[in-house]
Structure 1
Amino acid sequence: MKQHPYRYNKQQWKFLLFLFAALIATASLLYSNYLVKSLSKSERTKAEVWAMSTKSIVTMPDVNDEFISFISAVRDSLSLPAIITDKNEAIVAWRDLDSTKTDNPNDPDSLKQYDPDYFQKQLNKMKKAHPPIHISLDSGQEWRVYYHDSNALAQLRIFPYLQLSLIAIFLIIAYTVFNSIRDSEQNLVWVGMAKEAAHQLGTPISSMMGWLELARVTYDAEDDSVFNEMERDIKRLEIVADRFSKIGSTPSLTNHAVYPVVEEYVNYFKVRTSQRITFELVGDQQVEAKLNVQVFDWIIENLLKNAVNAIEAEGKISINISENIAKEEIFIDISDTGKGIPRANWEVIFQPGYTTRKRGWGLGLSLTKRMVYYHQGQIFVKESEIGKGTTFRIILKSNLRYEPTQI
């Protein structure tokens, strides 16, 4: 497989942009993690100071009131949810918990209820959040200080992920919008080039038709087979020019019997192909579908050319037209005895830029799929086997109310 240079460069840019975004995301996460660790260490220090100040108030009752007031002020300034227990897990003190569930039940003036289950749940959460801080008392007993993160630290932990998610959403939206704008601009360029090519071809084609008529008269060869084939080729050029002039517009669709349309192009194509390749056209000659004949010819042309390119020496190309009456569908199967397509590439071959030819642009099947879609149909690889050949299937509706789109 060979990719078109434009497609290859586009993939390189996408990879580099993805790598750059990954580096930004990694740097953001690392820095946020550094901040989280710093604040987490600071909060552990707060918990230790709060526990020590509580110890001072409880174990030093004889200290003057001014010192106690100072210690109390220091303790109250440390805003952090925490619980102190003894070695038997009995709660000794707490701070910054839900005041509606922590008032002392022994206080007759309290109208709020003490909730033991609430304390136990909070204690379990704190045990999971951080290892306890151990404080030894002069009496030989031990306190254990449990705490969990403040609201600020908890929000900081999730902030980088929220930030990256919002950035990712913004980038996706921006990429989609700019990609759409770029594709629209490219489509306008291609449409303009196609119409200009059709316009430029008009004059020489008309001149060639005139010169052909002059040659016939000059050499008295009205029924000469060579001149007749030249005329068919010139008319074919007119059809090609007309195709290009229709790009970007919405050509009309009308009812046609599918078999004669395919047959006419096959008869034209096979005499211009190696005699070592045989053609077979079979199927229902009566089924009809809404077609734009010139555009539909282009579909058949691309598929037959691909089939010829897939056959390295001699082989056979078969076209089978059938109808599924129950589903009102027409099947057009184009098979070759060529080299086949790997199963992994059955979808990829319809993408712009994919080609196995050294000088190919990789636009044929992509354009074919677009033209089939214009006919409200489907095209896909029905089956393929390496070394044995490939079958493409086109599905058209035999009875449709169309809403035509641009080619």
Structure 2
Amino acid sequence: MLSQFINWRTALAIIAIAIVSGTVFYSNYLSKKIAADERKKVNVWVQALKTRGNSTEPSAIELTNTITAENTAIPIIGTNEKDIPLGPNDYSNLDSNKVKSDSNYLKNKIEEFKNQHEPITVEISKDPLYINKYYYGDSALLKEVRYYPIVQLIIVALFIIITLITVSTRNKSTQNQVWAGMAKETAHQLGTPLSSLQGWVEMLKDNPQSEKIANEMAKDVDRLKLVSDRFGKIGSTPQLEEKNIVIQIEDMVAYIKRRATDKVNFSINSFNETEIIAMINAPLFDWVIENLLKNALDAMDGKGSIGINIKNEAANIIIDVKDSGKGISSQNIAKVFKPGFTTKKRGWGLGLSLSKRIIEQYHKGELFVKNSEPGKGTTFRIVLKK
């Protein structure tokens, strides 16, 4: 079936177009019908006015007065053949205060009515030929019918926008649940081999000849436990604790430095402050710093400099991670935090996406590209609120 090949967005757009198109056509039909009916009413009103002017019989005058009084919706202005307005008895449903205070009010209204309808002409006398013209405008009902499609279009547009936002939010929520589930399952699956590895490491430590190897393996096992712990925390509300940001970053830089070449220079500037306290979840915060440092290393191809500035401000803690790598092109800056985006040959492109989520959702801070210039390097900024 054709409907199977059309996604829900297309179907929603088709339904909206059908609703608006149907409304436009039907409103146009109604407005023409109302306009024709109003022209008949204006014609009757004009003829009644003419009859009242030519008759002296009380019954005829009373009838014409009744007819002219029934028009309470259609604005009318009577003029002579030169479009000069007649007396107050020859206009209806106009603002009498403006008629008295504004000398151009009737003139402007005549020009407005000319653009809306052809005037109705009345021959007053044949010899000499004397003709009155009656200009009239749209009633409030006719205006409402003509504007109704616009109102409905706005309502339909708002409905579509709200629906799209709702569905998008739901999809993101589902996607978040999937990622959280995958992360927790990964942590669970890592648990069994890690326990086994710990046992083997302890056995190796008992052998004096393998003690050095065992100690190095123990460090890697601890590292794997930390990674497993990080994955296990995704999707859960992390516990924030007071930690010294300077120490946290120094420890992570020391860890990355051991895995970098001698051609990479690391520096930390905390502006002479040795203790800057912030509420963080240490394992997740370390993960963010690790991701930023690894990205910096990848961008420099094994040589260059990485500088971290930690500034303690009145309301925020500012952390800038700057590298001298190849930089990010302007068209890619907006994409770097999107899941799946990567310029590397390996990897899933999730590091920066997860880092941004950890800082902004769990720590209520900000992570963004402060500046980047191809060939000169990139600076990522973390803002943590005190």
**What pairs with 1:5-404 in structure 2 (closer than 5 Å)?**
16=10, 20=14, 23-24=17-18, 27=21, 30-31=24-25, 34-35=28-29, 38-39=32-33, 41-42=35-36, 45-46=39-40, 49-50=43-44, 53-54=47-48, 57=51, 80-88=74-82, 89-91=84-86, 93-94=89-90, 97=93, 116=100, 121=105, 124-131=108-115, 132-133=118-119, 135=121, 137=123, 138-139=125-126, 140-217=129-206, 220-224=209-213, 227-273=214-260, 275=261, 278-284=264-270, 286-290=274-278, 291-311=280-300, 313-324=301-312, 327=314, 329-343=316-330, 345-357=332-344, 361-373=348-360, 374-397=362-385, 400=386
Give the conservation status (yes or no) of the 8 Å contact 1:134–1:142. Answer: no
Q: Which one is further off, 379-388 or 340-349?
A: 340-349
Q: Cα gap change, 1:174/1:271 in structure 2, threshold over 3 Å: closer, same or farther? A: same
Quick one: distance in 1 between partners of 2:146 and 2:341? Answer: 45
Counterpart-to-counterpart distance in 2, 1:17 and 1:316: 54
Within 2, Cα distance between the matches of 1:96 and 1:90? 12
CA RMSD of aligned residues (A): 4.1
Following TM superposition, where does structure 1 have runs of at least 4 consecutive aligned residues deviating by more than 6 angstroms?
12-15, 68-79
1:335 and 1:240 map into 2 onto residues whose CA distance is 25
Residue by residue over 1:102-156, the C-alpha shift from the partner in whole angstroms, topping out at 9 and shown as x without a partner, is 9xxxxxxxxxxxx755997466335313345152524211211111111210111
Amino acid of the residue matched to residue 127 of structure 1?
A: E
Structure 1 residues 117 and 21: CA distance shift in structure 2, 3 A: farther
User: What is the alpha-carbon distance in structure 1 between the residues aligned to residue 35 and residue 93 of structure 2?
Assistant: 21
For the residue of structure 2 that corresponds to 1:91, the secondary structure is: coil
Letter in 2 for 1:197: T
Q: For the Cα contact (< 8 Å) 1:263–1:281, is it kept in 2?
A: no
Q: Which has the higher contact order (CA 8 A, sep 6+)?
A: 1
Structure 2 residue identity aligned to 1:245:
G
Identify if the C-alpha distance between structure 1 residues 185 and 228 changes in structure 2 by more than 3 Å, giving closer, same or farther.
Answer: same
Give the whole-Å Cα distance in 1 for the aligned partners of 2:113 and 2:85: 19
Deviation per residue, 1:314-344 (Å, 9 max, x gap)? 43241323333x5264433222222212345
In the TM superposition, residue 388 of structure 1 has moved relative to its aligned partner by 1.4
Contact kept? 1:47, 1:147, Cα under 8 Å: no
The superposition leaves residues 46-78 of structure 1 with CA deviations (integer Å, 9 ceiling, x where unpaired) of 266336634762687599x99x99999988887
**Whole-Å separation in 2 of the counterparts to 1:148 and 1:199:** 76
SS of residue paired to 2:264: strand
Q: Supply the AA of the counterpart residue of 2:39.
A: T
Superposed CA offset, 1:249-272 (max 9, x none): 333333333333223333333444
Q: Secondary structure at the match of 2:314?
A: coil
Secondary structure of the residue aligned to 2:327 is: coil
How many Å separate the matches in 1 of 2:363 and 2:305? Answer: 24
Change (3 A) 1:136 1:331: closer
Q: Deviations over 1:170-196 (max 9, x none)?
A: 444444444444433433333333222
1: distance between equivalents of 2:359 and 2:35?
A: 65
Name the stretch that deviates more: 341-350 or 384-393: 341-350
* TM-score, with structure 1 as normaliser: 0.73
User: Which SS does the other structure have where 1:220 is aligned?
Assistant: helix
Is the 1:257–1:289 contact (alpha carbons within 8 Å) kept by the matching residues of 2? Answer: yes
Task: Provide the C-alpha distance between the structure 2 equivalents of 1:144 and 1:359, rounded to a whole number of angstroms.
Answer: 83
Instruction: Judge conservation of contact 1:123–1:146 (CA < 8 Å) in 2.
Output: no
Give distance in 2, aligned partners of 1:16 and 1:247.
35
CA contact under 8 A between 2:291 and 2:355: conserved in structure 1?
yes
Shift of 1:247: 1.9
Once the two structures are superposed, what CA deviation does each residue of 1:268-323 show, in whole Å capped at 9, x if it has no partner?
A: 334444x3751413224712323322111100121122223323x34324132333
Contact kept, 8 Å, 2:184 with 2:234, in 1: the verdict is yes
Residues 277 and 134 of structure 1, relative CA distance in 2, 3 Å threshold: farther
Contact 2:296–2:306 at 8 Å: present in 1 too? no
Unaligned runs of 5+ in 2: 1-5
Counterparts in 2 of 1:353 and 1:141: CA distance versus 1, 3 Å: farther
